[in-house]
Amino acid sequence: MHNFNSPRWLAKGFLVVALMSCGSYAAAADADAKKESAVTSDQAQPKGAVARVNGTAIDAIELRRAKKVLLRGQTIPAEQQAMLDKQAMDQLVSAELLYQAAAKLEIKDLDKEIDAKIAQDRTRFKDEQEFKKAIKDLEMNEKDLREYVRRGLLISRYVETTFVSKTAVSDAEIRSFYDKNPDKFKTGDAIKASHILIGTDSKTSVADKKAAREKSEKLRKELAGGADFAALAKGNSTCPSSQQGGDLGFFGKGQMVPQFEKAAFALKPGEISDVVETQFGYHIIKLTEKKTASVTELKDVKAKIEEYLKGQKVNEAIQKHLAETRKTAKIELLLK
């Protein structure tokens, strides 16, 4: 079945602030720690305000953070920097517009919610030192972090009360989506297999390859004589799956190299293949289970379809709201 992403009540317009408040500062900070960065050097970074929204300044530091979140550790060519700046700026402006509306909300025990969110985010790090480094890498201190979490919580609550709670998906819409997208609910043939790998590669000498082949053939004879497959895998296989007795779990066609796939799918449950050679070395494959292609029934995916369609509707509503808000807002873009 198609793996629907969880719906983003957090629409494109305020994704940056909300993501940071939800812990994505961790991923962004990890990316920032890498030697290579897609963002230009500090000397080339803008300083001061890069925009004003209804008189409220958006600082250059927020733009840097936003770009780190968008990049998620990826690099982009220099000629795409302007496009990245525009995308990040657009999200920051939209975030500020939503926050200005959300700031009017009164949330009981907001400080407790902030404490709980930060405590939850702390658990994503191995220790306090790593947590503090992640914040520092985003040019933030804990006071800044609290402010970002506060803004994110307010925006999320605003979106929930203004858009999510007022959005519904009918059974007819769910059925229509299911009927119009049959390929999303099909699962192909899949098998569960284990293997023993005696590894070789392009640098392996002819003599060593011969020895690996001979060892594989010897192990195959032991299996034919009744030896335990998992035990032999644990003691001989060079694949990390050896720790699980060679178990590779379920996989479908197209997920393994052709020679391995052809041999594995030709087996019946319980059967063991002859020695199979691939670019990774010599394999002995045991098929443990087979699943035939099927179609997931509507009742089993109804909740996910509803969630997906609701997310789409909410995002559309937010984008429409932002478009209307921008018409009357005073937005000054100062980035050169």
Cα angle: 140, vertex 51, 20; to 5 degrees: 35
List CB contacts of 182: < 8 A, sequence separation 6 or more. Answer: 295
Residue 40 has pLDDT above 50, yes or no: no
Say if 3 falls within a structural domain.
no
Q: For residue 223, is pLDDT > 50?
A: yes
CATH of the domain at 272: 3.10.50.40
β-bridge partners, 246: none
Q: Are residues 287 and 309 in the same domain?
A: no
pLDDT classification of 45: cutoffs 50, 70, 90 = low
Q: Are strands 190-199 and 247-252 parallel, antiparallel or unpaired?
A: antiparallel
Instruction: Give the chain's radius of gyration (CA, Å).
Output: 27
State mean pLDDT over 309-322. Answer: 95
- Is the CB of residue 89 less than 8 Å from the CB of residue 50? yes
Average pLDDT over residues 317-329: 96
**pLDDT band (50, 70, 90) for residue 73:** confident
Q: What would the pLDDT profile of 264-304 be if each residue is shown by its tens digit? A: 999 999 999 999 999 999 999 999 999 998 999 999 999 99
In a domain, 239, yes or no: yes
Range name among 104-113, 217-226, 324-333 with the lowest pLDDT average: 104-113
Give me the CATH number covering residue 131.
Answer: 1.10.4030.10
Question: Among residues of the chain, what percentage have pLDDT more than 70?
Answer: 86
Query: In DSSP terms, which residues pair with 196 in a beta bridge?
Result: 284
Q: Are residues 195 and 229 in the same domain?
A: yes
Please check whether residue 162 is in contact with residue 175, taking contact to mean a CB–CB distance below 8 angstroms: no
> What pLDDT does residue 46 have?
65
**142 within some domain:** yes
Distance between CA atoms of residues 83 and 171, nearest Å? 40
Measure the N-to-C terminal CA separation of the chain; round to a whole number of Å: 46
Same domain, 220 and 309: no
Number of domains in the chain: 2
More confident: 77 or 217: 217
Q: Are residues 99 and 129 in the same domain?
A: yes
Q: Which runs of consecutive H residues, i.e. helices, occur in 138-186?
A: 142-162, 171-180
Residues 99 and 243 in one domain: no
C-alpha separations of 294 from 67, 188, 291, 311 in Å: 42, 7, 9, 27
Same domain, 272 and 318: no
d(CA 232, CA 178): 46
Whether residue 66 has pLDDT greater than 50: yes
Q: What string of DSSP letters covers 84-111?
A: HHHHHHHHHHHHHHHHHHHTT---TTHH
Q: Do residues 219 and 250 share a domain?
A: yes
> What confidence tier does 43 reach under pLDDT thresholds 50, 70, 90?
very low
CA 56 to chain centre: 33
Q: Which tokens sit at 75?
A: 């690099």
In a domain, 6, yes or no: no
The verdict on 253 and 319 lying in the same domain is no
Residue 183 covered by a domain: no
Residue 215: which domain range?
189-292
pLDDT in tens, 235-253: 999 999 999 999 999 999 9
pLDDT band at residue 74 under the 50/70/90 scheme: confident
Same domain, 307 and 288: no
Are 166 and 223 contained in the same domain?
Answer: no
Residues 150 and 226 grouped into a single domain: no
In a domain, 180, yes or no: no
Residues 17 and 157 in one domain: yes
Q: Is residue 304 part of a domain?
A: yes
